[in-house]
Structure 1
Amino acid sequence: MHGRNRNDIYTGLEVAIILKKDQRTGKLTYGIVQDILTSAPYHSRGIKVRLEDGQVGRVAEINVTEED
């Protein structure tokens, strides 16, 4: 599931985000949502969130498990 709708995202949700520095490569970073930073109900590139470890990025996928 893509993270474009704010209603689909909540604190404690496991997500994959794309950090600003990784936008060109599309590298995903996995973590748990601490804060939702985008106030709009929809964003075409993904809702911006802060993970529990402090990293900020746009949600690319929801409810994912990291694959090695």
Structure 2
Amino acid sequence: MDGKNRNNLQIGMLVDIVLKKDQRTGKLTRGHIKRILTNSSQHPHGIKVMLAEGDQVGRVQKIIETDHLS
């Protein structure tokens, strides 16, 4: 699934995001979605979310786990 489409994301999903400070290096941060911050249905650089772990904010690059949502 694609982190560029808001419809693919739900609260609690495990995702990899890129933080603003890590955009140049591409370093990813893993965590669970606490809030979805982007209002539009799509974004070319990834939907902006806040992680539950430390309230870090970044754009979703990869969706890791959706199993717990079943």
Equivalences for 1:1-68 in 2 at 5 Å? 1-53=1-53, 54-63=55-64
More helix per residue: 2
CA shift digits 1:29-64 (9 cap, x unpaired): 000000000000000000000000200000000025
SS at match of 1:7: helix
Distance of 1:9 and 1:33 partners within structure 2: 8
What percent identity do the matched residue pairs reach?
A: 55
Distance of 2:58 and 2:49 partners within structure 1: 6
What is the root-mean-square deviation of aligned Cα atoms in Å?
0.9
Distance of 1:63 and 1:8 partners within structure 2: 12
TM-score (normalizing by structure 2): 0.88
TM-score (normalizing by structure 1): 0.90
